[in-house]
Amino acid sequence: MSKRRRNVDAFSLSFLDCICCGFGAIILLLVLSKIYEPMIIEKTQDDLESLIALLQQELFDIRGETAILNRELVDVREQTSDTKIQLARLQQELSTVKGQYDASQEESESTIDEGALASAKQRLTEEMRRLQPYYKRADDDAVAGIPVDSEYIIFIIDTSGSMQQYNWDRVQQKLNETLDVYPQVQGLQIMNDNGNYMFSQYAGKWIPDTPGRREAIKNTMRLWRPFSDSNPVDGIIYAISTYWSPDKKISIYVFGDEFSGRSVENVVRQVDAVNRADAQGNRMVRIHAVGFPFLFRGSGDIPPTAHKFSQLMRVLCERNGGTFVALTHWDR
């Protein structure tokens, strides 16, 4: 018995049903995936924000630890610096102890000569005596003609080019000698003739007088070069206005070689207005000065600025209870 072959239709109903079901399944998958996609994105954003917040917190913690370490490092450096200063001072004392007596004798003789010269200049004429109606010298508290009864000392130093190039070694020497005259004071201050401080951290305050600080002053002087216009008036007036106090004895030491201002008389009036005299004629602050010899060389080529500095400092020192010393020799 022969079998009949069935003709298969490729586009029969069953085939179309299968195709439709497949497409429907794909569409369903797409719909389901779209439904959950916003939740996944939102969760991912939350995770990223949490991660960013965590990293920021770690960054803040690291910065805080860095600041603490930096402060500790600064403290260690300061301690190291103080230790080095003390070591340098001890080494210097050790190297100079054998010749200390001879050096002291030479220094005393040199200082006395300079003080005698200054005293002689101050008594030359009646005019100079007339310019110091309020001046009274306390001989019992003087060394080589310079009163040393002050408890606080301010140095006003000309840092101009001529001082730096020709006088700086002498300036350092005279600064050290002046400090040696005062073994212990209540406070120190160093500024240039424009009122710029050597140590900005002590601006408006007193530098404590310790062996370490004195050594730091001497070391800093070697390379200290702030701008200067060779006019000590601003520094003097600023120092008196800032540091004077009725319960303090203060002396100002001016180191320089020339005065670039116009009028000596105007400067004297300005200083008199600031450094007033009391009922007994005593000024609030003593003013001493040391003139350095670069611009005093020769007999016929002395610049007018050097003459004016000498004239100004002589009058200021006389009127304000101090002494002016002119260093006219290179070996003094």
pLDDT, averaged across the chain: 77
User: Which pLDDT value is given to residue 102?
Assistant: 56
Determine, yes or no, domain membership for 246.
yes
Q: Are residues 318 and 234 in the same domain?
A: yes
| Residue 144, C-beta contacts closer than 8 angstroms, at least 6 positions apart | 108, 111, 112, 114, 115, 116
pLDDT of 124 higher than 60? no
Q: What is the pLDDT of residue 99?
A: 57
Looking at the fold, whether 144 and 262 belong to one and the same domain comes out as yes
Let me know if residue 298 belongs to a domain: yes
Residue 3 belongs to some domain of the structure: no
Please indicate, yes or no, whether residues 195 and 319 belong to a single structural domain of this protein: yes
What is the structure's pLDDT at 210?
Answer: 94
CATH (domain of 216): 3.40.50.410
Same domain, 77 and 219: no
255 forms beta bridges with: 157, 290
Q: What is the pLDDT at residue 207?
A: 96
103 is a domain residue: no
Residue 135 located in a structural domain: yes
Residue 150 falls inside a structural domain: yes
pLDDT exceeds 70 at position 223: yes
Give the chain's domain count: 2
Domain that holds residue 290: 108-326
Is pLDDT larger for residue 100 or for residue 206? 206
pLDDT at 32: 64
Distant-in-sequence, close-in-space partners of 121: CB < 8 Å, separation ≥ 6: 314, 324, 326
**Are residue 202 and residue 310 in the same domain, yes or no?**
yes
Identify whether the C-beta of residue 319 lies closer than 8 Å to the C-beta of residue 268: yes
Q: Given this model, what pLDDT does residue 73 score? A: 85
* Contact in structure between 191 and 235 (CB atoms under 8 Å): yes
- Residue 107 has a pLDDT of 47
C-alpha–C-alpha distance, residues 161 and 171, integer Å: 13
pLDDT in tens, 52-96: 888 888 888 888 888 888 888 888 887 887 777 777 777 667 766
Residue 4: inside a domain, yes or no? no
In this structure, the number of other CB atoms found within 10 A of the CB of residue 135 comes to 18
HEC per residue, the chain: CCCCCCCCCCCCHHHHHHHHHHHHHHHHHHHHHHHHHHHHHHHHHHHHHHHHHHHHHHHHHHHHHHHHHHHHHHHHHHHHHHHHHHHHHHHHHHHHCCCHHHHHHHHHHHHHHHHHHHHHHHCCCHHHHHCCCCCCCCHHHEECCEECCCCEEEEEECCCHHHHHHHHHHHHHHHHHHHHHCCCCCEEEEEECCCCECCHHHCCCCECCCHHHHHHHHHHHCCCCCCCCCCCHHHHHHHHHHHCCCCCCEEEEEEECCCCCCCHHHHHHHHHHHCCECCCCCECEEEEEEECCHHHCCCCCCCHHHHHHHHHHHHHHHHCCCCEEECCCCCC
286-293 average pLDDT score: 89
* C-alpha to C-alpha distance for 332 and 328, rounded to whole angstroms: 8
Percent of the chain topping pLDDT 70: 70
Quote the pLDDT of residue 149: 73
Asked whether residue 165 carries a pLDDT value surpassing 80, the answer given is yes
